[in-house]
Amino acid sequence: MKDAFLEFETERLLIRPTNFDDAPFLLLLLNTPKWLEFIGDRKVYDLPASRNYIKERIIPQFYKWGFGNYTLIRKMDKIPIGCCGLYDRPGVDGIDLGFALMPAFEKYGYALEAAQKMLEIATDIFKLNKVSAITSTENMASQNLLRKLGMKYQGLLSISDEDDPVLLFQLSKIIS
């Protein structure tokens, strides 16, 4: 995917649309212990499956909405450290904010930095008046980050009959 989808940056991060070059990194990220525990097993166990995940799950959202999953690249050394994005997720009211980091890059404020940028572009560029976020009831780090972003807890949400309920957070903004 080398189309003209928007790229962003923060003080420490380059934020660019996830593409096929990210398949090896995404394979690692989707199989980290916290991803598997808190987000779920996407059944991506090899490079072909990672490329297919990008083709089937990531690229279509960019073509439909202009946004989706972004790979986070640390500016200082150009290392991919995680992902953050805005997702059209079935069962969630509004566009969903999501984020995940490789374990070595947690607790440095990267997720907060990237998520703040995603909320900024959600309103300023994509003109969304509400952004939701879901998280596991056990994922305290994610819950704390969502509160730092100013998102408000709305209650439990059941997305499917097979999965446990998740916590729903939302942020509404008036667009001028």
The answer to whether residue 163 scores a pLDDT higher than 80 is no
Tens-place pLDDT, residues 48-77: 999 999 999 999 999 999 999 999 999 999
Question: Which domain, by its residues, includes 90?
Answer: 8-126
Residue in 166, 88, 157 with CA at minimum distance from that of residue 128: 88
71: which strand partners? Answer: 16, 83
Residue 131 domain flag = no
Q: Report the pLDDT value the prediction gives residue 174, as an integer from 0 to 100.
A: 47
Pairing assessment for the beta strands 69-74 and 79-87 based on DSSP bridges: antiparallel
CA dist., res. 34 & res. 32, Å (int):
6
Residue 141 domain flag = no
Task: Return the residue matching tokens 């069962």.
Answer: 91
Whole-structure pTM value = 0.93
The answer to whether residue 147 scores a pLDDT higher than 50 is yes
Residue 157 domain flag = no
Residue 161 domain flag = no
CA dist., res. 115 & res. 97, Å (int):
8
CA 60 to chain centre: 15
Please count the other Cβ atoms lying within 10 Å of the Cβ belonging to residue 158: 11
Say if CB 114 and CB 99 are below 8 A apart. Answer: yes
Domain count, the chain: 1
Lowest mean pLDDT among 62-66, 87-91, 148-152, 158-162: 158-162
Residue 36 domain flag = yes
Residue 166 domain flag = no
Tens-place pLDDT, residues 82-134: 999 999 988 898 899 999 999 999 999 999 999 999 999 999 999 999 999 99
CA dist., res. 69 & res. 62, Å (int):
8
